[in-house]
Structure 1
Amino acid sequence: MPDALFSDPRLAALYDVFDSDRGDLPAYLAIVESLRPERIIDVGCGTGTFAALLAERGYTVVGADPAGASLDVARGKSAAVTWVHAGADELPEVGADLALMTGNVAQVFVTDEEWAGALRGIRGALRDGGHLVFEARRPEFRGWEEWAHEPIFDEESGVERRFTLGAVDLPLVSFRYEYHFDADGATLTSESTLRFRSREEIEESLRTAGFEVLEVRDAPDRPGRENVFIATTLP
C-alpha cells in the first residue's frame, strides 16, 4: 500500500510544494536521449513531473503509480500521458522500449518478494531488447545520517512539514513526515521505509529477473551517493 504522502489527497497535493527540486531529471533526460526510445513507461510516476516532461519532448509515455491521489495530481499536468493506476507488479504489457524508476521508487520494495515481483512486472511491460533505468542509494554512504532537518513552513499553503528519522535496521531505514495545516489545525502523518540494497545484490536480482546489466553509473547530481543502473531485457 502506498505511503500516505502519495495516497492521501491532501498530502499528494503538497508533494510538489515541498519536493519540487528535480535536479536529477537532466541526467535522466540525457540517458533517455541516448537510448532513443519511442514508448516509455514511468514506473512509480508519482505526481507525474517527469512523465509530463517526457511527453512534452515528443515521447509516447505511460505513467503508472499505485497511488490514486498522486495520479489525480499528475493528470492535471498532461493530457498526452496515458496514466495507469498500477503498481510495478501489475503493469500493462505495453511493449515499452524503456522503463524508468526515478527518485526512491526502486527502494520502496522492502522485501525480496516485492522487489522480484516489481522486476517481473517491468519485464512484462517491456519489449524484447527494451531497457530499464533506475537509481538506488548506496548503503555505504549512509545518507540517512544527513536527512534530519528543521521544520519547513510553506506560506502559500499554510502547511508546516516536520521530518523524523525512525529505525535504522539495515538494510531498512524508516522515517516519518508530519504535516500541520494552519487552516483547520489538522496534522497528517506519513510513515515510510526504504530498503538499501548493495550494487551486487541489485545486479544479481536483475539477472534473475531476465535482465542484463549494461552499465552502472554514478549519479551526476549526487556523486558518490547513488548508483544508476542501465539494463536491457534478455530474450
Structure 2
Amino acid sequence: MRPPDPAFADPRLAELYDVLDDDRSDLDAYVALADEVEARRVVDIGCGTGSLAVLLAARGLGVVGVDPAEASLAVARTKPYADRVTWLHGDATALTPDTRADLVVMTGNVAQVFVDDDDWHATLSAVVQSLRPGGWFVFETRRPEARAWETWDVPPSTVHLPGGTHVVVSRSITEVALPLVTFETITTIGGERISSTSTLRFRTLEELYADLPARGVQVVEVRDAPDRPGLEHVVLARRT
C-alpha cells in the first residue's frame, strides 16, 4: 500500500497533529459505539497519534492500534494509558486471525486513504480476518454529493503553540478528479516550509453496499456523523 502522507509520517508534523486538531469530540461517538455493541476488544486501524485508542484503554478495553506512520505511533506511545494498548506499525494486513476483535474502527479520513481498489479490498479482507464471528466493523466516510472539499482551502494562518512558538499553516485543493480529491498542506515551522500532499477517495453508498458483503461483512446500519451532520456517513457492518 502507498506510504503514509508526511502529515503523519514526518516527526515534526506528527508532533503537531494533536495541537493543530485539538477538538476530538468526534471520537465520542466511537466510545459510545464500543459501549453499544458491548465490545471488550477493539482494533483501531489508522490509529494515528492514538487519541481514540487511549480513550478506550482508559475504560478497560483491550485495544490494538495499527498505523503505518511510525512518527505518529511514537507520539501515541507517550500518552496516558498508552502502555495498555498494543501498538502495531503497519497497515491492516499486519493484523492476524488470532486478534478476534469485537469491534474494528476506522475514524477520520482513514477509510478514504485507500484510493486503489486492490488496497481497499485487501484492507476489508484484513478487517474480516481480525474480527470474531459476529464482530462489528464501523467506519466513517464523507458523502461525495456534499462536496465538502469546496470549503477546504485555508489561507496561511498562524497557530500559536504552547511555549510561545507558532507555526503557519495553509491548505489548498490541487485536483478534483472524482472520486479522487487531492490537496496540499503547507506547514512553516521556524522558517522551514514542510509540504504534505494527500489524496482521498469519495465512495458512494452504493459502492460500499457492494464492496463490504463481497469481503464478508454485511452493512447493518448507516448513520449520520454527529460531528458533521449531512457531510458524512458512519457505516455499521457486521462479520457474517
Both proteins in one fold, TM over 0.5 = yes
- In structure 2, the residue matched to 1:63 is 65
- In structure 2, the residue matched to 1:53 is 55
Between the aligned partners of 1:68 and 1:48, the Cα distance in structure 2 is 12
- Following TM superposition, by how much is the alpha carbon of 1:116 offset from its aligned partner in structure 2, in angstroms? 0.2
Between the aligned partners of 1:162 and 1:153, the Cα distance in structure 2 is 9
CA contact (8 A) 2:112 2:200 kept: yes
Unmatched segments (≥5 aa) in structure 2: none
SS at structure 2 position matched to 1:24: helix
Between the aligned partners of 1:27 and 1:177, the Cα distance in structure 2 is 27
Residue 223 (structure 1) aligned with residue 229 (structure 2): yes
Paired residues for 1:192-203 under 5 Å = 192-203=198-209
- In structure 2, the residue matched to 1:136 is 141
Cα deviation 1:96-147 (Å, max 9, x = unaligned): 1100000000000001111101101111111111110000000000000111
Segments of 4+ moved more than 4 angstroms: none
- Following TM superposition, by how much is the alpha carbon of 1:89 offset from its aligned partner in structure 2, in angstroms? 2.7
CA contact (8 A) 1:203 1:213 kept: yes
- In structure 2, the residue matched to 1:84 is 88
Using the size of structure 2 for normalisation, the TM-score is 0.94
- Following TM superposition, by how much is the alpha carbon of 1:64 offset from its aligned partner in structure 2, in angstroms? 0.5
Residue 189 (structure 1) aligned with residue 173 (structure 2): no
User: Root-mean-square deviation (CA), in Å?
Assistant: 1.0
Between the aligned partners of 1:91 and 1:187, the Cα distance in structure 2 is 36
CA contact (8 A) 1:89 1:119 kept: no
Residue 160 (structure 1) aligned with residue 168 (structure 2): yes
**How many residues end up aligned between the 2 structures?**
232
Q: 1:24 aligns with which of 19, 23, 26?
A: 26
SS at structure 2 position matched to 1:150: strand
Cα deviation 1:154-181 (Å, max 9, x = unaligned): 2224211111111000000000111111
- In structure 1, the residue matched to 2:120 is 115
- In structure 2, the residue matched to 1:214 is 220
CA contact (8 A) 1:180 1:187 kept: yes
Between the aligned partners of 1:170 and 1:89, the Cα distance in structure 2 is 27
CA contact (8 A) 1:106 1:136 kept: yes
- Following TM superposition, by how much is the alpha carbon of 1:68 offset from its aligned partner in structure 2, in angstroms? 0.5
- In structure 1, the residue matched to 2:186 is 178
Between the aligned partners of 2:156 and 2:236, the Cα distance in structure 1 is 36
SS at structure 2 position matched to 1:206: helix
Unmatched segments (≥5 aa) in structure 1: none
Between the aligned partners of 1:92 and 1:20, the Cα distance in structure 2 is 32
- What amino acid sits opposite 1:207 in the alignment? P
Cα deviation 1:170-217 (Å, max 9, x = unaligned): 0000001111112xx211110000000001101210011101111011
- What amino acid sits opposite 1:98 in the alignment? L
- In structure 2, the residue matched to 1:97 is 102
- In structure 2, the residue matched to 1:43 is 45
SS at structure 1 position matched to 2:42: strand
Between the aligned partners of 1:128 and 1:70, the Cα distance in structure 2 is 31
